[in-house]
Every structure is written in structure tokens, then in C-alpha cells.
Structure 1
Amino acid sequence: MPKVGMPDIRKPQLVHATMSVIDRVGLHGASVALISKEAGVSTGIINHYFGGKQGLLQETMREVLRQLSHTVKSRLSQLPKNEHHQRINAIIDGNFVGYQAENKVAKTWLAFWSHSIHDPQLKRLQRVNEKRLLSHLKTELKALFDSEQAEIVAHGIAALIDGIWLRGTLNPGGIDASKARLIINDYLDNQLNQYSKNN
């Protein structure tokens, strides 16, 4: 029986080990044996805490999503409610800097992203993430556009975030947060200029 308090140590340890193994051998090669060896624990611990590999993979994706949500909320909390452009940039930055830009985290994201097409639980988590991103964006954009246009621009920014992130993850040089911000702000400025001309 695991000691009291051990889950708080073991669970994060196993999540980080999962990311390290996925970084090295990919999602399909990330076996329970490799992950437990990386974490320095027995394979039975994974079954005990997560019910097997699938449960561990889901918890790993949840952790990545928690970190992303925390980063975005933390950045937004530091900005005034009426600084909508700055707040949009805080949302953009949250997707490209810090934890999300770490190589093993980015590779884990990419592995889960592709795997979620065929995995209902991972797909559900991916949809939660997508809805959260669009919700954050629409909250700020509705102060700059009418509701219909805010919806369109939110989807445009989300598509740019995904596309730039994907290219950066596949690029040996990694993700360039400054370039991402520049590209997305250019799109946003063009949308604002076009909107102001028509209204």
C-alpha cells in the first residue's frame, strides 16, 4: 500500500516521465514499462494510480491543459479589463511561451492532438481546450466587434494559433512567440480596420 502523501509525488512524477518518453519514442512507443522505468517506479504503480496507460495519458493531457489555462488566466489577471488588445495578446502569449513552448510538452501536445482523432476521451479534452480558447477570445473581441464578427475573428485567431504552433513544433528551431504575436496582430489589425470602414 502506497504511503500517505505519495500520490502528490508519484502522479506528477509519472506525468513528467510520460512526456519524456513521448519526446523520445512517440506516443505509440510510450509503453508502461518505459514510462515506469523513466519514473523509477514499478509498472504496478501506473495501474494503481491511473488504471493503466490510457488513464495516465489522459492525466498527462489534463496536466498540459491545466498549465495552459493557468498561464492564460494568470496573464489576464494582471491586465485591466478594458485593455482588450493587450488581453488578446496575453491569450496569444499563453499558447506560445513558458511551459507550452518546452520541447517535450510541445511534442506531447502534438502526439495527443493527432491521437485525439481516434480516441473519444482525448477528443473530449481537446474540445474543452478549444472551447476555452474561443471563450477567452470572444470575451475580449466582443468589445471591439459585434457578436457575429467577434465569433469569426475568434475562430481566425484560434486557427492562426494552431497553425503557427504546429509549424513551430515541427520546426527544429521551435516556436517563435514574437513572430506568432506579430502575425496574429497583423490579422487582428486588418480585421479592425476593415470593420471600422464598414461600420
Structure 2
Amino acid sequence: MEPIRRQQLIEATMAAIDEVGLADTTVAVIARRAGVSTGIISHYFGGKDGLLEATMRRILGDLGESVRQRRVILEQNTARGHLRAIVEGNFDRSQVSQSVMKTWLAFWATSMHKPTLQRLQYVNDRRLHSNLSYQFRRHMDRDSARRAASGLAALIDGLWLRGALAPEGINITRAVALAHEYVDEQLAGTTAAAQ
């Protein structure tokens, strides 16, 4: 029963954040949405912060899975292919639904004030940068690869954020195309240019 209950509470958290924002998403609101007592949230998560952390871990797990799925279908094990998989995974439907986007935004804002959430954000940020750097490093010197990775990470975050805040929502096709163009520009003139 526990995994089902935990999943139910995570879904209720995202729905509540989507509807009323993080500030007005109380343990009572989440419990009511999930049809459970507030004590269940304390039992499983220790409170609202613990539930937000669990919710973000689930969203990050979905992100990792979307990138893994794209890597599985790569025709060739190229840096370009892996970089594209990372880009596309970050704009996967699991990352751009309204409730997930609002949860991400709430998480980022809250992580500046909560050490446990700040650590989770740091780990996520470092993981992205490390994966991008590793792929660029296959065709560039270390410093160039790090710069290219920093640029692509900023572009992914910036495109995602602009889309999240736009009244019309995110244009996934355009965002992915812009990020792919950046990858192609960075790899131009390297041994990856022919791949």
C-alpha cells in the first residue's frame, strides 16, 4: 500500500501547486486532495518540505527515464546523439505539463531557502553539466567542453523557463530545435562534425 499512497500524495501535491501555488498548498490541502489524513503526510514525508522533495525526486526520475529511453534508440553512439537525447529528455512531456512546470518553479524558488532542497537542486545541476561536459569532451578539450556544456545547460534552462512563463505555454518543437542548433554549432569543426 505504501508505494500507492506515496504516489497518490505526490500527484496531489503537483495538482495543488498547479491550482493554488506553493504558498497556499498546505498539508491539509494536499491531504484533502489525496483523500487521506494529514498524519499520513507526516508519517511518510515528515511534512510539506519532505513531500516537495519526494515530488521533485519523482519528477527528476521521470526526467532521467526520458533521457534513458532516448539513448536506447540511438542509432549510433555519438556525442551528438547523446546530447540530443539529453535536450529532448528535458523537453519531454513528463517535464512540460502545467502541473510539473509549476512544481519545478516552486521547487527552484524554495530551494534557495531550504538546505535539503538546495542540495537536490545542486545534484541535479551538477549531473546535467557533467553529462553534457562528458559528451562534448569526446570532441573538444576540457575547457571548451565545459564552456559548451555550461552554454547548453543555460540554454535548456532558459528555453524551459521562458516557455513555463509564457501565457501561450512552451513551444517544445522550437525549443528543441534551438538547442539542437546550439549543439551543432558547438560541434562544427570538431571530429563530430561528420557525425
Q: Match of 2:131? A: 136
Q: Match of 1:8? A: 3
Match among 90, 93, 97 for residue 98 of structure 1: 93
Check conservation: 1:96, 1:175, Cα contact below 8 A: no
Q: Match of 2:140? A: 145
Alignment partners' CA distance in 1, 2:65 and 2:101? 17
1:114-158 alpha-carbon deviations (Å, 9 max, x no partner): 111111111110111111111221221112211110110000000
Alignment partners' CA distance in 2, 1:148 and 1:119? 32
The answer to whether the aligner puts 1:75 opposite 2:70 as a matched pair is yes
Match among 50, 55, 59 for residue 60 of structure 1: 55
Q: CA RMSD in A?
A: 1.6
Residue 18 of structure 1 aligns with an amino acid whose one-letter code is T
Residue 74 of structure 2 aligns with an amino acid whose one-letter code is L
For residue 107 of structure 1, report the CA deviation from its aligned partner: 0.7
Could you tell me which runs of 5 or more consecutive residues in structure 2 were left unpaired when the two chains were aligned: none
Seq. identity, %: 48
135-144 or 27-36, larger mean C-alpha shift: 135-144
For residue 194 of structure 1, report the CA deviation from its aligned partner: 6.6
Q: How many residues align?
A: 191
Q: Match of 1:170? A: 165
Matches within 5 A, 1:185-196: 185-193=180-188
Question: So what's the TM-score if we normalise by structure 1?
Answer: 0.90
Could you tell me which runs of 5 or more consecutive residues in structure 1 were left unpaired when the two chains were aligned: 1-5
Q: Match of 2:41? A: 46
Q: Match of 1:3? A: none
Question: So what's the TM-score if we normalise by structure 2?
Answer: 0.92
Check conservation: 1:72, 1:91, Cα contact below 8 A: yes
1:50-71 alpha-carbon deviations (Å, 9 max, x no partner): 1122211111111111111121
For residue 172 of structure 1, report the CA deviation from its aligned partner: 2.4
The answer to whether the aligner puts 1:155 opposite 2:150 as a matched pair is yes
Alignment partners' CA distance in 1, 2:79 and 2:179? 14
